[in-house]
Amino acid sequence: MVLVLGQLKESHLFANMKKLEIPVSIFSGICVGAILTAFLSSTAMLQDVYMVAFTSVAAALMTIFLDYLISPKQIFGFWQNALKAIENSPFKPFAKPLGTCIYCMNVYVYTACFVVLYIHTKSSWWYFIPGASLSHVALAYIDRKINS
């Protein structure tokens, strides 16, 4: 049975789901809080999580700064010409991480920041993916605030 989106809004099931929205969000918040409390009971682990969060936000801010530096009429504005040349060559897939796409570039900036964090703190490599995800979210939030 296939429902059209318009039929879904008018259905009885959708109305009942709307009533459950607040209790489900409260329950999920309690579950996430309980999991984080159990997960972060160790002081050393809590320090690692704070360091990864700080590194993620720092990488997002560095990405914004790098994007500003390579914009036209800035100190590395010539990089835009190089990116245009790369886009018109067989190496087009490399243009996005090199500066065409700010979110693609953020992954490499965070990787460099995480390597520095790992060298200085011997943090676990398991923090890389959550940190990269947090850096992406922080970049999206900062970019939306700057460009709105």
User: What pLDDT, on the 0 to 100 scale, is given for residue 43?
Assistant: 72
pTM of the model: 0.68
Looking at the predicted structure, is the pLDDT value of residue 51 above 70?
yes
8-state DSSP, 31 = H
Quick: pLDDT tens for 98-146: 878 888 899 999 999 999 988 888 877 888 888 899 999 999 988 888 8
Q: Cβ distance 136 to 105 under 8 Å?
A: no
How is the chain split into domains, by residue range? 1-39, 43-147
d(CA 86, CA 95) in angstroms, rounded, equals 6
Binned at pLDDT 50, 70 and 90, residue 24 comes out as: low
Measuring CA to CA, which residue among 146, 42, 41 is closest to residue 138?
A: 146
Which tokens in the block code for residue 145? 């605030």
34: amino acid identity, one letter:
A
Which tokens in the block code for residue 33? 């809080």
Q: Where are the alpha helices (DSSP H) in the chain?
A: 5-10, 12-19, 21-39, 43-69, 78-87, 102-121, 128-147
User: What pLDDT, on the 0 to 100 scale, is given for residue 93?
Assistant: 81
8-state DSSP, 95 = T
Residues 6+ apart with CB under 8 A from 4: none
